[in-house]
Amino acid sequence: MLALEEKFDEKNIEFGADLEEVAITTDESLMEIVWNNLLTNAIKFTKKDGLVKIELRKEEGQAIVKVSDTGCGMSEETCHRIFDRFYQGDTFHAEEGNGLGLVQVKRVVDLVDGTISAESDPEKGTTFTVILKL
C-alpha cells in the first residue's frame, strides 16, 4: 500500500473512503490483486489534483465495492471490452501497460463467484463495481 500512497502523492490525488463494516470471507491474497489493480488503474488514469474513492456497503447478503476516479474515462465500446484479454482501448491517456491487469481482476472475481462491471463517462471518470457474496 505504501507504493500506492507515493503515487497518490506524486499526482496530488485525494483519496476518499466510505466503508461500512462488512466481513468478506474470501481469499485475502486473491482480493488484494483485485483492489491493488483497480486502485493502481484509478491513480494512473486520474489527472493531477483529482479524486479516487472506494466505497463498501452491504446489500442483500452481498458486499458491494465501488472504486471510482475522476480520470479521463473511456468510451462505451472500451467500457464493454475492458475485461477482454490484451484490449487496451483508447491509450492516449495511459501509461505503459499490457492490457492484462483487468483480465486478471475479472478472473479472480469470477474465481470467488463474484461479478465486476465498469461504468464510465469520458472526461469525467470511471467506476468499477465488484459484488461479492457474503
Decide: pTM greater than 0.75: yes
Tally of structural domains, the chain: 1
Range(s) of the domain holding residue 12: 2-133
Query: For residue 81, how many other CB atoms are within 10 A of its CB?
Result: 13
pLDDT digits (tens, 9 = 90+) for 6-33: 989 999 999 999 999 999 889 999 999 9
Q: Hey, how many other C-beta atoms are within 10 angstroms of the C-beta on 65?
A: 23
Rounded (5°) CA angle 34-54-77: 65
pLDDT digits (tens, 9 = 90+) for 72-96: 999 888 888 888 876 666 554 455 5
User: Domain with 84 in it: what CATH number?
Assistant: 3.30.565.10
